[in-house]
A and B are shown apart, each in its own frame.
Chain A
């Protein structure tokens, strides 16, 4: 399998996951802001920060924030991480993978793009609405279902999954990081709304229902963080995503470096103690996670996509 094909599959996995997560985040956040008092130190800026696009956004005209921010996150062509941009990239990659992926999955990604482009594209867009984002989430999940229901479990499938799970783990830690910022700020306004906030955190990761079934006690920050980081069974928890990354990697040739990178992070998770949440410690830990994700990404890239230092390495001819 060509490295470039592997790379494109991986990015299809990442971009579709990113589009879905961003859509869910905007929906949950819109909802949350309606429930919080006006002077609560939670705003769309927090969400912009989660998506790592604060520099791009601050360069834009941004009034009023309540429409500009979702528009930037969902529709902006200048924002390479916007829902529309990521779907566009996924569709362009899928076009080159038509021989590799099931036919219906290409058509479905193409439909998703056409839908998103119709609803979010164009300069006249004023407001990003809940039904549109919900439809996008549904569509992304349908595509995931198509992949899982119709693709053979060969390297093609594993590269899609690698992209999906790394992106998912990454997003889960970003959500926790922002929630953590609001923790213990000594600001009573927010703390009054702790429960609402942490329920929203769970909802952003589609985790509320599963948390309820699994934890069976009131929602507290430490339990939410624990659940989203290390629940072994919840499919969006970091631990579960890492286990999946390990599983997929082992099914590919030349896997030691990526598997080691994942194993290292799992080890650090086990060593973490989470009895009490201290804001600065949580932030430092999540920062660490982010760095490790970048390391895992680089191990994947160096192993399978760009493994050749042309000048130094001799040929590794197989035939």
Chain B
């Protein structure tokens, strides 16, 4: 190994590319050999080429800083994360199983509530969930599917096993970066794509489109699909525009849509009103429709919920899906898989303490400095405590919050997230990663080949969110047989 790799002598975590004996894992051999043949200059010039491509392609995300919204270049590390196809096939089956069960659960919550009556999930957990929408009771979205797009966060612990960390069922983002990461990485390492069989990821926009078409209330017609964005100041606006463009769908704001007395949704065009069949909404439930929810929302369209409830428009994800996004519900998913599918879960959950249960709460209270504590309904890594990395004050502040509102918190052991070699100031060092694949469910199911690998760029950090300085990597599903 050359000097670039000196940081790789003796590492303490599971590494995705390098085995415990210091040699590359079988599936990563061509990649690692190729990287090791690069000089320091070769490596930095490739990273620079990738950074340039990202600027040229205008791949950005929006952050709010200094009172202004700034478009930042998307941070991509050129060294990909590699997963063998055989392992991925199992993960894919586990993801599909999970989403099928979650959708059966959501449908159940808004109909008979069998799982509640049979004591699988306590009723108070549902009724107190922030994203439970009583208005959605009795609704019948097409195919009985509510969460049509799911981003499930996976992590690999020190034992080498892959765990589900959370299910994002509201408006998960990141898939456009998965696609862009691939197109940049192909430019950087074309030779590796020639010599190996790496699963392509480009099918996603058409799969998404097909799924949205399958939600149209007027099958047979050429359906009108729109992407509903909260607007240019949203951190994921780039993605909204990107997906709309790739699908050939209109990107609309709430004010572009109108619901008439016939309870159908129309968009305002220079030719007149056009009926809309499916709305891929990238806006939270309660901002969607000031008529039904937040009266003061400027982002939504009055009557959108009514049109959906009457079955005149498909909405992905369906209003109310977020009830299964709650991190307390997460802890019940293995039970839900057994209950609805009569199957054993293929992918394990991370062990989770529910602070609403007195015994668990006592344990959490006594072990805060070792645990990760998360609010039940936040995303983007906000409001989270990583015990081993937290100050005394942060721990005490969290203790107060958990005691005041135990229902709203869960705790998990601090995992030893796996690492991937990452370019850091011209040398290669291990950095922690997670993985967010995207699962679609409409008439059919589809899973991305891999997903978005997010990387914590600071040494030792476990926080991978781009809003908090995280980076990303391309993810390769490589045929290993």
Contacts and interface: CB of A to CB of B under 8 A. Distances in A.
Interface of A: 1-4, 6, 92, 95-96, 98-99, 103, 155, 252-254, 304, 306-308, 310, 314-319
A254 B221 contact: no
B268 A308 contact: yes
A179 B250 CA distance: 47
Interface stretch (B33-41, B121-129, B253-261, B438-446): B253-261
B342 interface: no
Contact of A310 (B241, B260, B267): B260
A4 to B, nearest CB: 5
B270 A317 contact: no
B274 A98 contact: no
A308 B273 contact: yes
B270 A254 contact: yes
B273 A316 contact: yes
A6 B275 contact: no
A292 B93 CA distance: 67
A98 B240 CA distance: 12
Contacts of A96: 232
A107 to B, nearest CB: 9
A251 B255 CA distance: 26
Contacts of A253: 270-271
5 contacts: A2-B270, A3-B270, A4-B256, A314-B260, A316-B272
B275 A2 contact: no
Contact of B221 (A92, A95, A252, A319): A319
Interface of A is mostly: loop
Contacts of B269: 1-3
A4 B268 CA distance: 8
Given A96-B232, A308-B258, A317 B252 contact: no
Contacts, number: 69
A315 B264 contact: yes
Interface in B231-282: 232, 241, 244-245, 250-253, 255-256, 258, 260, 262, 264, 266-275
A62 B58 CA distance: 43
B222 interface: yes
A318 B256 contact: no
Nearest to B255: A4
Contact of A2 (B241, B260, B262, B267): B267
Most chain A beta-carbon contacts within 10 A, residue among B252, B262, B270, B275:
B270
Contact of A319 (B222, B250, B255): B222
A319 B271 contact: no
B270 A6 contact: yes
B224 interface: yes
B60 to A, nearest CB: 11
Given A2-B252, A3-B268, A307-B268, A99 B275 contact: no
Contact of A317 (B255, B258, B275): B275
Interface string B111-147: 0000000000000000000000000000000000000
B274 A319 contact: yes
Contacts of A316: 272-273
A319 B268 contact: no
Contacts of A318: 271-275
Nearest to B272: A316
Given A4-B253, A307-B268, 9 more contacts: A2-B267, A3-B256, A3-B269, A92-B232, A155-B270, A308-B268, A310-B260, A315-B266, A317-B266
A155 B266 CA distance: 21
A310 B257 CA distance: 11
Contacts of B244: 99
A319 B275 contact: yes
Contacts of A319: 221-222, 224, 274-275
Contacts of A317: 266, 273-275
A96 B275 CA distance: 23
Given A155-B270, A252-B270, A2 B222 contact: no
B271 A99 contact: no
A307 B272 contact: yes
Nearest to A317: B275
A253 B270 CA distance: 7
Contact of A99 (B245, B253, B260, B270): B245
The 5 A-B pairs with the shortest beta carbon distances in the complex, nearest first, are A316-B272, A3-B268, A304-B270, A253-B271, A317-B275
B241 to A, nearest CB: 6
A316 B255 CA distance: 18
A317 B276 CA distance: 10
B59 to A, nearest CB: 12
Contacts of B267: 2
Contacts of B274: 317-319
A310 B270 contact: no
A111 B270 CA distance: 30
A315 B221 contact: no
Contacts of B264: 315
A310 B258 contact: yes
A254 B264 CA distance: 24
Contacts of B256: 2-4
B135 to A, nearest CB: 23
Contacts of B270: 1-3, 6, 155, 252-254, 304
A314 B269 CA distance: 15
Nearest to A107: B58
Contacts of B275: 315, 317-319
A109 to B, nearest CB: 14
Interface in B144-172: none
B272 A254 contact: yes
Nearest to B259: A310
A135 B227 CA distance: 39
A99 B245 CA distance: 8
A126 B359 CA distance: 68
A254 B271 CA distance: 7
Nearest to B261: A311
Interface in B265-324: 266-275
Contacts of A308: 258, 268, 273
A4 B262 CA distance: 23
B174 to A, nearest CB: 20
Contacts of B255: 4
A252 B272 CA distance: 12
Most chain A beta-carbon contacts within 10 A, residue among B241, B245, B266, B272:
B272
A230 to B, nearest CB: 31
Contacts of A314: 260
Nearest to A318: B274
Given A4-B268, A310-B260, A315 B232 contact: no
A95 B233 CA distance: 10
Contacts of A315: 260, 262, 264, 266, 273, 275
A314 B244 CA distance: 28
Nearest to B302: A310
B371 to A, nearest CB: 42
Contacts of B273: 308, 315-318
A308 B266 CA distance: 11
A235 to B, nearest CB: 26
A228 B260 CA distance: 47
